[in-house]
Amino acid sequence: MEVRIFKDKDQLGEVLAEILVSRIKSKPDLSFGFATGASPVPVYKSMIDYYRKGLVSFNKITTFNLDEYCNLPREDENSYYSFMQENLFTQIDIKEENINFLNGNAKDFDAECKRYDNLILDKGIDIQLLGLGRNGHIGFNEPATKFTKNCFKIKLSESTIEANSVYFTKNPMPHYALTMGTVSIMRAKEIFMIATGDKKADAIYEMINGDISPLCPSSVLQLHPNVHVFLDKDAAKRL
Ligand code: GLP
Q: For the residues 143-154, what does the mean pLDDT come to?
A: 96
pLDDT in tens, 31-68: 999 999 999 999 999 999 999 999 999 999 999 999 99
Task: Give the type of residue at 189.
Answer: K
The finding on whether 37 has its CB within 6 A of some atom of ligand 1 is yes
The finding on whether 179 has its CB within 6 A of some atom of ligand 1 is no
Distance CA 235, CA 203 (A): 9
**Angle subtended by helix axes 41-52 and 9-26, to nearest 10:** 50
Q: For the residues 166-193, what does the mean pLDDT come to?
A: 96
Q: How confident is the model at residue 171 (pLDDT cuts 50, 70, 90)?
A: confident
pLDDT in tens, 67-111: 999 999 999 999 999 999 999 999 999 999 999 999 999 999 999
pLDDT in tens, 128-143: 999 999 999 999 999 9
Q: Which atom of ligand 1 is nearest to the CA of 131?
A: 10
Residues sharing a CB contact under 8 Å with residue 32, sequence separation 6 or more, in sequence order: 61, 62, 63, 64, 125, 126, 127, 128, 129
Q: For the residues 105-118, what does the mean pLDDT come to?
A: 98
Which residues face 177 on adjacent strands?
A: 69, 154
| Residue 96 appears among annotated catalytic residues | no
| Residue 135 appears among annotated catalytic residues | yes
What DSSP string runs through 134-151? TTS-BTTB-S-SS---SS
Q: Which atom of ligand 1 is nearest to the CA of 194?
A: 14
pLDDT in tens, 14-27: 999 999 999 999 99
Which candidate in 98, 135, 141, 164 is catalytic? 135
pLDDT of residue 154: 96
pLDDT of residue 137: 95
Q: How confident is the model at residue 119 (pLDDT cuts 50, 70, 90)?
A: very high
Burial class (CB in 10 A: 0-12, 13-18, 19+), 43: buried
Which candidate in 142, 164, 206, 232 is catalytic? 142
